Amino acid sequence: MSQTGVITFKGNPMTLAGKPLAVGETAPAFVLHYADGGLKTLTLDDLKGKPTILSVVPSLDTPTCATQTKRFNEELAALGDKVNSVTVSRDLPFAQARFCGAEGIGCIRTASDYQTHAFGDDYGLTIEELKLLTRAVIVLDSTGKITYQQIVGEVTEEPDYAAALDALRAAS
């Protein structure tokens, strides 16, 4: 299944692979990878018990994705360890770690869907034409239920930070 007419990239219509998720659904299980002295895995089960914000970006090597990650890192500092926050991209975990180190990112964790692409496909967020993730923000409650989702219509634009953070606070 694929979705057309949901997003554009620089004004060009793109296709999202997979079934779209809806608020109220339980988030699909996932296995992502991150660098921490080697490759480690992060699963949905690892995040249960606290509200979670998943900030999904095409690549941290682009200005809008870098801005989104830095902005959520700054905004989430006030919430401390009351919430989980993860930026998901298909960048290699080592590139994600290098970005975080260079930019002083410490409040939001990065994890990669590079290996299987299952996260993007299961969450309906893979841009078929680019094989990258589209820009989106998903908030989960402590049980893994989706309480908020924004798929940004134009991939090069930033998400609605205020709405996402309000949803995260409401889930707390």
CATH, residue 138: 3.40.30.10
Task: With respect to residue 1, please indicate whether it lies within any of the assigned structural domains.
Answer: no
109 is in which domain, residue-wise?
A: 21-114+132-171
Task: With respect to residue 79, please indicate whether it lies within any of the assigned structural domains.
Answer: yes
Task: With respect to residue 38, please indicate whether it lies within any of the assigned structural domains.
Answer: yes
User: In total, how many domains does the chain have?
Assistant: 1
Q: Which residues pair with 14 in a beta bridge?
A: 7
Task: With respect to residue 127, please indicate whether it lies within any of the assigned structural domains.
Answer: no
Give me the phi and psi of 94, to 5 degrees please.
-70, -35
pLDDT value for 37: 78
Give catalytic status of residue 107 as yes or no: no
User: For the chain, which ranges sit under pLDDT 70?
Assistant: none
Burial of 55 (0-12, 13-18, 19+ CB in 10 A): buried
Annotated catalytic residue, options 7, 14, 42, 65: 65
Task: With respect to residue 93, please indicate whether it lies within any of the assigned structural domains.
Answer: yes
pTM of the predicted model over 0.75: yes
| Cα–Cα distance measured from residue 99 to residue 103, given in angstroms and rounded to the nearest whole number | 6
Taken as a whole, the chain contains a residue count of 172
pLDDT value for 38: 83
Task: With respect to residue 137, please indicate whether it lies within any of the assigned structural domains.
Answer: yes
Answer yes or no: are the C-beta atoms of 60 and 95 closer than 8 Å: yes
| Cα–Cα distance measured from residue 172 to residue 168, given in angstroms and rounded to the nearest whole number | 6
Task: With respect to residue 122, please indicate whether it lies within any of the assigned structural domains.
Answer: no
Determine what percent of the chain is predicted with pLDDT higher than 90.
92
**Token duo for residue 15:** 């296709």
pLDDT value for 13: 97
**18-23 long-range Cβ contacts below 8 angstroms, 24+ apart:** 18/120, 18/121, 18/122, 18/123, 18/124, 18/125, 18/126, 19/124, 20/124, 20/151, 21/123, 21/124, 21/138, 21/146, 21/149, 22/146, 22/149, 23/146, 23/147, 23/148, 23/149
Task: With respect to residue 51, please indicate whether it lies within any of the assigned structural domains.
Answer: yes
